């Protein structure tokens, strides 16, 4: 069984915060793969289902970001899930918006949700880092992550969430590299402008083909006929 965790803060006021993109990711996975309704367990909200035949428990800790590890640890211990089968989605300041990277272990880069999780279960779990960009100043970070995504950012947020959900079967197979490359491929395709629609050519009326030689012959015939007419008329007057 895989435990897939999304980090965020509970409550409507945090729902669209940049810090909550981990919640958004597991919610989109649940929706795409038709998981049952969320229920309360392990100090969080859980939904259990299958992805590509593999059992998966999705978890959104409700202990607030700084204490996320308490919920993750409780679920992992109760279900006896190995660290290698735990995948955690979180926001990443050090990646450009719309970029995604997967890594196992490593530092927590000042992310309180990761720090808490590592304190409760150890450090060697997979992290899916979803780039949200950096505000440019360390002093602005808290305000930045605890504010909603701007409307313009939906241009990359929505395709990213859809790509994560579509590529999730690779995570359930333990193939994080394939998951990462699939998300990159899907989001790149979403960035491409649509191909222009072919425009049907308007029918062109055929231009009459003019033949100079034919025109000269017709004029000559007309002149001969006119001269003949005049000659006959003069003969008729002589016999009168």
Residues belonging to the active site:
19
Q: What is the token pair recorded at 37? A: 């309704």
Please give the DSSP secondary-structure letter assigned to residue 193: P
Distance from C-alpha of 86 to C-alpha of 4, rounded to nearest angstrom: 6
Distance from C-alpha of 162 to C-alpha of 190, rounded to nearest angstrom: 10
Q: Which residues contact 172 (CB under 8 A, 6 or more apart)?
A: 2, 51, 52, 53, 54, 56
Q: What is the token pair recorded at 73? A: 């640890």
What are φ and ψ of residue 187, in 5° steps? -75, -30
Nearest one of 78, 90, 93, 14 to 46, comparing CA atoms: 78
What are φ and ψ of residue 199, in 5° steps? -100, 125
Distance from C-alpha of 55 to C-alpha of 67, rounded to nearest angstrom: 26
């Amino acid at each position: 069984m895989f435990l897939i965790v999304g980090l965020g803060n509970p409550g409507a006021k945090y729902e669209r915060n940049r810090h909550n993109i981990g919640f958004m990711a597991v919610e989109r996975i649940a929706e795409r793969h038709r998981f049952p309704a969320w229920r309360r367990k392990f100090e969080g909200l859980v939904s259990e289902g299958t992805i590509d035949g593999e059992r998966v428990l999705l978890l959104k800790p409700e202990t607030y970001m700084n204490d996320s590890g308490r919920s993750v640890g409780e679920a992992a211990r109760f279900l006896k899930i190995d660290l290698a089968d735990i995948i955690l989605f979180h926001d990443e300041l050090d990646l450009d918006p719309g970029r995604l990277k997967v890594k196992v272990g490593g530092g927590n880069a000042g992310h309180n949700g990761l720090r808490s999780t590592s304190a409760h279960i150890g450090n060697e779990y997979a992290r899916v880092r979803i780039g949200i960009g950096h505000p440019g100043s360390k002093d602005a970070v808290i305000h930045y992550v605890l504010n909603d995504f701007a409307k313009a950012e939906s241009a990359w947020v929505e395709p990213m969430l859809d790509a994560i959900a579509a590529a999730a079967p690779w995570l359930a197979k333990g193939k994080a590299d394939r998951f990462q490359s699939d998300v990159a491929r899907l989001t790149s395709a979403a960035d491409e402008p649509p191909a222009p629609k072919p425009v049907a050519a308007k029918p062109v009326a055929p231009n009459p083909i003019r033949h100079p030689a034919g025109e000269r012959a017709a004029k000559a015939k007309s002149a001969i006929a006119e001269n003949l007419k005049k000659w006959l008329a003069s003969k008729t007057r002589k016999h009168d």
